[in-house]
């Protein structure tokens, strides 16, 4: 097998996290329905990822695939490919579980679905709290964080962190917490550089993990008339040619050189290897400056249906707001167990 060697970053609690992980969100289709038919391919690609050297899996309660992630990990342990302690597994607590006691329930249910006795990292998926009926529960994320500190203390998880927090929210959390989050997982890619947020996190010892690390720069997400860098942008193609890499590898390498971990998602085995083959070259200073210029604050993930919820972390847009899709409120997970 084609082996990839992925270096680690250190977290503020002394533990290590691989600088590149495998993202497991297969997503929603145009009707906002979960793409369940992709799950078998996910199992295959994830399994292959561990075979070739991935040691970091990013999942969430929302993603419906905790049972599948657990199945693949158990399989790889049985085959002798890895030991549990070689793998870094992240999951997330969804927006309807923001009461401290619900955080604990959610983490225990994730462990049960995954078939694990501990998690490496659990994140608060968003700073907003929304009931399964779509009602703003207005629970303060400081209260939710107490639930995270409690599951850490109980040893259910080795590290705790947040996701989709902005600088203001992190500042308030840091001033009012016992445990500093180990990670803030946010969208970062060539168009959304998030310089201020990344600087803030790095100054405060919070590791930044980039989700949607390609933004729109993959053929499957190409949109005409969109202010995002295209996969066939001549500047990107020239950089790819110069380093003998694909434009997607250039994008991931740029994140790594900024000290940011990333969790690209792919169901395609050749891309599993491609996306992790970025640790054998170095972008020079001029090229880093060129890549920086693509930053135009364009967000690929903008859930405007959450916009009026308390603690929505992004700037608001002035359009008629759609309803929150049912698939982001209620679901059965991949093993068809109730979600608790």
Q: Please give the positions annotated as active site.
A: 63
Does 48 engage in binding with ligand NDP (CB under 6 A)?
no
* Among 185, 277, 311, 333, interactor with ligand NDP by CB under 6 A: 185
Pick 159 or 248: Cβ nearer ligand NDP? 248
Q: Taking the complex as a whole, how short is the minimal distance between the CB of residue 25 and ligand NDP, in angstroms?
A: 4
Q: State the Cα–Cα distance between residues 218 and 205, nearest whole angstrom.
A: 31
* Among 6, 17, 23, 98, interactor with ligand NDP by CB under 6 A: 23
Q: What value, to the nearest 5°, has the Cα angle with vertex 49 and ends 43 and 8?
A: 130
Strands 183-187 and 207-211: parallel
Pick 153 or 241: Cβ nearer ligand NDP? 241
Question: Which is it for the CA torsion 201, 166, 327, 105, positive or negative?
Answer: positive
Does 159 engage in binding with ligand NDP (CB under 6 A)?
no
Biggest distance spanned by C-alpha atoms of the chain = 54
Strands 16-18 and 183-187: unpaired
Question: Is 79 in a helix, a strand, or coil?
Answer: coil
Does 271 engage in binding with ligand NDP (CB under 6 A)?
yes
* Among 110, 164, 184, 311, interactor with ligand NDP by CB under 6 A: 164
- CA dist list (Å): 324 to 135, 301, 304, 327, 340: 10, 14, 9, 8, 20
* Among 263, 291, 324, 328, interactor with ligand NDP by CB under 6 A: 263
79-118 binders of ligand NDP (CB under 6 A): none
Residues 117-136 vs ligand NDP: string with x where CB under 6 A?
--------x-----------
Q: What value, to the nearest 5°, has the Cα angle with vertex 184 and ends 110 and 329?
A: 45
Residues 189-228 vs ligand NDP: string with x where CB under 6 A?
----------------------xxxx---x-x--------
* Among 167, 267, 288, 304, interactor with ligand NDP by CB under 6 A: 267
Does 245 engage in binding with ligand NDP (CB under 6 A)?
no
Does 334 engage in binding with ligand NDP (CB under 6 A)?
no
Pick 84 or 299: Cβ nearer ligand NDP? 299
Residues 275-294 vs ligand NDP: string with x where CB under 6 A?
x-------------------
Q: Taking the complex as a whole, how short is the minimal distance between the CB of residue 115 and ligand NDP, in angstroms?
A: 19
Q: Taking the complex as a whole, how short is the minimal distance between the CB of residue 108 and ligand NDP, in angstroms?
A: 21
Contact between residue 282 and residue 239 where contact means Cβ atoms under 8 Å apart: no
Contact between residue 125 and residue 94 where contact means Cβ atoms under 8 Å apart: yes
Question: Is 319 in a helix, a strand, or coil?
Answer: coil
b/e per residue 227-237 (b: at least 16 CB within 10 A):
ebbbbeeeebe
- CA dist list (Å): 212 to 136, 160, 273: 26, 21, 18
Contact between residue 20 and residue 263 where contact means Cβ atoms under 8 Å apart: yes
Q: Taking the complex as a whole, how short is the minimal distance between the CB of residue 306 and ligand NDP, in angstroms?
A: 11
Token pair of 142, please? 């400081």
Instruction: Tell me the number of residues near ligand NDP by CB under 6 A.
Output: 25
Positions that interact with ligand NDP (CB under 6 A) = 23-25, 58, 125, 163-164, 185, 211-214, 218, 220, 248, 263-268, 271, 274-275, 301
């Amino acid at each position: 097998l084609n082996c990839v060697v992925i270096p680690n970053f250190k977290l503020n609690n002394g533990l290590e996290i691989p600088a590149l992980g495998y993202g497991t969100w297969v997503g929603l289709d145009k009707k906002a329905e979960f793409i369940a038919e992709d799950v078998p391919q996910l199992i295959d690609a994830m399994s292959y990822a561990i075979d070739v050297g991935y040691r970091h899996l990013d999942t969430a309660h929302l993603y419906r695939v905790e049972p599948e992630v657990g199945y693949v990990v158990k399989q790889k342990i049985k085959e002798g490919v890895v030991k549990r302690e070689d793998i870094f597994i992240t999951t997330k607590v969804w927006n309807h579980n923001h009461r401290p006691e619900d955080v604990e329930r959610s983490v225990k249910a994730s462990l049960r679905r995954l078939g694990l006795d501990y998690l490496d990292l659990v994140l608060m998926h968003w700073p907003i709290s929304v009931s399964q009926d779509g009602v703003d529960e207005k629970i303060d994320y400081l209260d939710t964080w107490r639930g995270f500190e409690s599951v850490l203390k109980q040893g259910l998880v080795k590290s705790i962190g947040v996701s989709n927090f902005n600088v203001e929210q992190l500042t308030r959390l840091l001033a009012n917490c016992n445990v500093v989050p180990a990670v803030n997982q946010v969208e970062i890619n060539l168009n959304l550089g998030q310089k201020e947020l990344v600087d803030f996190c790095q100054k405060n010892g919070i590791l930044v993990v980039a989700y949607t690390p390609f933004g729109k720069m993959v053929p499957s997400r190409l949109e005409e008339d969109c202010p995002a860098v295209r996969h066939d942008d001549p500047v990107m193609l020239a950089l790819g040619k110069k380093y003998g890499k694909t434009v997607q590898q250039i994008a991931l390498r740029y994140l790594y050189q900024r000290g940011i971990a990333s969790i690209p998602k792919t169901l395609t085995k050749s891309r599993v290897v491609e996306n992790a083959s970025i640790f054998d070259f170095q972008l020079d200073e001029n090229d880093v400056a060129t890549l920086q210029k693509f930053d135009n604050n364009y967000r690929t993930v903008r859930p405007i249906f959450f916009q009026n919820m308390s603690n929505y972390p992004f700037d608001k847009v002035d359009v008629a707001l759609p309803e929150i899709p049912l698939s982001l409120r209620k679901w059965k997970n991949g093993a068809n167990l109730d979600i608790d």
